[in-house]
Amino acid sequence: MSNLLLPPEERYAKLIEEKFQEDGTELQILNLGPTHPATHGIFQNIILLDGEKVIDGEGTVGYIHRAFEKIAENRPFYQINVLTDRLNYCSSPINNTAWWMTVEKALGIEIPKRVQYMRVIIMELARIADHIICSSVMGVDTGALTGFLYVFQYREKIYEIFEEISGARLTTNMGRIGGFERDWSPKVWQLIEEFLAEFPAIWSEFEGLLTRNRIFMDRTINVGGISAEEAINFGFTGPNLRAAGVDYDVRVATPYCSYEDFEFEIPVGTNGDCYDRFCVRNAEIWESMKIIRQAIDKMPEGPYHADVPDYYLPPKEDVYTNMEALIYHFKIIMGEVPVPVTELYHPVEAGNGELGFYLITDGSRTPYRLHFRRPCFIIYQAYNDIVRGGMLSDAIITLSSLNIIAGELDA
Amino acid sequence: MALDNITIQKRLQESFNDSVVNFHEQHGMLVLEATSDKVHDIIKFLKEDSELNFNFLTDVCGINYAEEVESRQLAVVYHMHNWFDNVRIRIKTYLNIKSPTVDSVTDLFKSANWQERETYDFYGIIFKGHPQLKRILNMDTMESFPLRKDHPMEDGGRTDKDDRFFGRTVHNC
């Protein structure tokens, strides 16, 4: 028991020694990470190998721990948005929107329908971008680089849409309390339309390259599987859980942002292996496109932000000419906004599963406590249980199929 | 009939009497306070009872209430979720900051493993029965528990960033 408290390399050194004494087998330790191409981020796995077979492993995380929870306790609400960008940096708009929704729920702000639909559009675009990365990188890790390069152009196009909306590409810092900082320009709508017109053909072609590809199937089917019971016990959510056959999706279980207005399906797998995860993500991309289409078609008229002068910055022209606006501007920037004393947990369906913000306010300008429930952090602890007994090359593909994002892992 | 908060409260009070107190609803979620010696049993009961069925441990985290009396300065918060009836519940247990100890729930939910390690890492809360209670995000040689309120966010020797100029004090910054 206490053995586990030792650093893994010391534990394994002892095991290697014992095993060698016992039957002359030479086990070896392999450092997978912190900067290994297969980890797609900075985290380490110390793996004990017998030839190519994984005997045991231990994950070491925290290499990009930035103490966001501590920083959040020292920042006014609007400044925390930039921290959430850096959680799952492959789909920042989901994190941003989740944060604004948490704050709005705490403050009791009603959000106009139009803003909710616009948020749905950016969140689904972000989900597509997130899944593009994961699915295409799975191809790369099985040796198929072509598909990756091909679809990455379209991730770029999504980032162009984000850039048009917020000015930033990766860490978007999108939105404000109550809505968006400005209305979307006609260019945004045009870019989204273009994306929706072009992407399906590309994505079908990508799926055609890999989904029924003999080599890819051999590499992924029955590899890195997890049963539904185990997955639930390990706290899996998102595509990784749905691949195991459980249809839990926060968008449906506790709808937020008017998700109940849209028709879409939750794709589920059966085996919970790498191939199912791949297929579930691919199917989700199609569902996301369906949601975006519906949101554009049903887009209601209305303002692009809620009417909450206490929290939403006044127009800049007014700040220069109007006393009232100047006062509000100053108060909001300094964080002197009325905040009720409350406590809430707000979950959303992020790219990797249930992203939750647990916020405690004490009436001051900053959160008293803010905890991020990061899906990757919880999913990743199962990794060594999944890969134990398998081959090293399977461990690599399992890692990329779980889509572990270092930013979300460490917070 | 879907499970409602009143039923959950009644079932818990029947089984645990004085160990569960302070039931209230926040944003529709049932919140309760449990004594630290019983919290493991309560979570086990919530998970295994065929009516309550809280099959998923969503989140475990710590809180430091620096203004409270010593015996209530630390808290562990568990969020659980019943997927069948779609009900969430929040269980809080307060601990004495002098000897913050609570039973680990890793035997019930494997997902608690790293979350409890994280809570230990940041608040110094000892989870009894945890298989591998060591630091996870911070470095192993660290001595303090950084999310406690008395831990300064930045090096106190810095003079270039004086938050007082922005109307902030230690307490409201």
Per-residue pLDDT tens over the stretch A241-276: 999 999 999 999 999 999 999 999 999 999 899 999
The answer to whether the beta carbons of residues A370 and A358 sit under 8 Å apart is: yes
Contacts of A381 in chain B (CB under 8 A): 110-111, 113-114
Torsion-angle region of residue A167: left (phi > 0), alpha (psi -120 to 50) or beta? left
Q: Which CATH architecture group holds B5-153?
A: 2-Layer Sandwich (3.30)
Of A67, A334, A373, the CB nearest to B167: A334
- CA dist B29 to A104, A346, B74, Å? 17, 11, 22
pLDDT: which is higher, B168 or A92: A92
**Are residues A49 and A115 both part of a single domain?**
no
Yes or no, beta carbons of A360 and B63 under 8 Å apart: yes
Integer distance in angstroms from the first to the last C-alpha of chain B?
A: 47
- CA dist A22 to A9, A19, A52, A57, A327, Å? 20, 5, 20, 21, 77
Return the amino acid letter for A27: L
Mean of the pLDDT values across residues A183-188?
94
Structure tokens at B28: 């529709």
**Are residues A162 and A23 both part of a single domain?**
no
Residues in chain B, total: 173
Range in A6-10, A75-79, B9-13, B33-37 with the lowest mean pLDDT: A6-10
Task: Give B170's pLDDT tier (boundaries 50, 70, 90).
Answer: low
Specify the pairing of strand B20-26 against strand B29-34: antiparallel
* Residue B163: strand, helix, or coil: helix
Residues in chain A, total: 411
What is the C-alpha to C-alpha distance for residues A305 and B47, in angstroms, rounded to an integer?
A: 42
Give how far B114 is from chain A: nearest CA, Å: 7
**Are residues A146 and A295 both part of a single domain?**
yes
- Alpha carbon A55 to its chain's center: 30
Of A61, A235, A365, the CB nearest to B172: A365
User: Domain for residue A252, yes or no?
Assistant: yes
Give how far B14 is from chain A: nearest CA, Å: 27
A111 has pLDDT over 90: yes
User: Domain for residue A339, yes or no?
Assistant: no
Domains in chain A, number: 2
What is the C-alpha to C-alpha distance for residues A77 and A102, in angstroms, rounded to an integer?
A: 10
pLDDT in tens, A344-393: 999 999 999 999 999 999 988 889 999 999 999 999 999 999 999 999 99
A1 has pLDDT over 70: no
Averaged confidence pLDDT in chain B:
88
Mean of the pLDDT values across residues A191-220?
93
Specify the pairing of strand B20-26 against strand B74-82: unpaired
Give the DSSP H/E element, type plus range, for residue B118: helix B112-123
User: Domain for residue A209, yes or no?
Assistant: yes
Mean of the pLDDT values across residues B116-139?
92
User: Domain for residue A359, yes or no?
Assistant: no
Which of A247, A279, A308 represents a domain boundary (last residue)?
Answer: A308
Per-residue b or e along A15-40, where b marks 16 or more CB atoms closer than 10 Å to that residue's CB: bbeebeeeeeeebebeebbbebebbb
User: Domain for residue A194, yes or no?
Assistant: yes
* Confidence (pLDDT) at A95: 94
**Are residues A132 and A237 both part of a single domain?**
yes
Domain holding A295: CATH number? 1.10.645.10
What is the C-alpha to C-alpha distance for residues A24 and A14, in angstroms, rounded to an integer?
A: 14
Range in A210-214, B118-122, B152-156 with the lowest mean pLDDT: B152-156
Q: Determine contact: B93 vs chain A, CB below 8 A.
A: no
**Are residues A165 and A267 both part of a single domain?**
yes
User: Domain for residue A280, yes or no?
Assistant: yes
Q: Residue A22 is part of which domain span?
A: 2-60
User: Domain for residue A300, yes or no?
Assistant: yes
Burial of A6 (0-12, 13-18, 19+ CB in 10 A): middle
Give the residue from chain B lying closest to A377, CA to CA: B114
Yes or no, beta carbons of B90 and A345 under 8 Å apart: yes
Of B109, B118, B147, the CB nearest to A233: B109
Task: Give B169's pLDDT tier (boundaries 50, 70, 90).
Answer: low
Give the residue from chain A lying closest to B75, CA to CA: A369
**Are residues A120 and A19 both part of a single domain?**
no
B167 has pLDDT over 70: no
**Are residues A273 and A181 both part of a single domain?**
yes
**Are residues A53 and A114 both part of a single domain?**
no
Structure tokens at A116: 């909710």
Q: How many helices (H) and strands (E) does chain B have?
A: 3, 7
Q: Show the 3-state SS of chain A.
A: CHHHHCCHHHHHHHHHHHHHHHHCCCCEEEEECCCCHHHCCCCEEEEEEECCEEEEEEEECCCCCCCHHHHHCCCCHHHHHHHHHCCCCCCHHHHHHHHHHHHHHHHCCCCCHHHHHHHHHHHHHHHHHHHHHHHHHHHHHCCCHHHHHHHHHHHHHHHHHHHHHHCCCCCCCCCECCECCCCCCHHHHHHHHHHHHHHHHHHHHHHHHHCCCHHHHHHHCCCCCCCHHHHHHCCCCHHHHHCCCCCCCHHHHCCCCCHHHCCCCCCCCCCCCHHHHHHHHHHHHHHHHHHHHHHHHHCCCCCCECCCCCCCCCCHHHHHHCHHHHHHHHHHHCCCCCCCCCEEEEEEEECCEEEEEEEEECCCCCEEEEEEECHHHHHHCCHHHHHCCCEHHHHHHHHHHHCCCHHHHHC
Per-residue b or e along A154-181, where b marks 16 or more CB atoms closer than 10 Å to that residue's CB: bbebbbbbbebbbeeeebbbbbbbbbbe
Closest CA to B86 of A230, A106, A255: A255
Task: Give B172's pLDDT tier (boundaries 50, 70, 90).
Answer: very low
* Confidence (pLDDT) at A8: 85
Return the amino acid letter for A119: R
B1 has pLDDT over 60: no
Give the residue from chain A lying closest to B148, CA to CA: A70
Integer distance in angstroms from the first to the last C-alpha of chain A?
A: 29
* Confidence (pLDDT) at A296: 95
**Are residues A49 and A114 both part of a single domain?**
no
- CA dist A317 to A309, A313, B89, Å? 15, 11, 47
Of A1, A73, A233, the CB nearest to B131: A1
The answer to whether the beta carbons of residues A219 and A201 sit under 8 Å apart is: no
What radius of gyration, in Å, describes the C-alpha atoms of chain A? 23
Mean of the pLDDT values across residues B118-144?
91
Cis, bond preceding A314 (omega within 30 deg of 0): no
Closest CA to A228 of B40, B56, B46: B56
pLDDT in tens, A157-174: 999 999 999 999 999 999
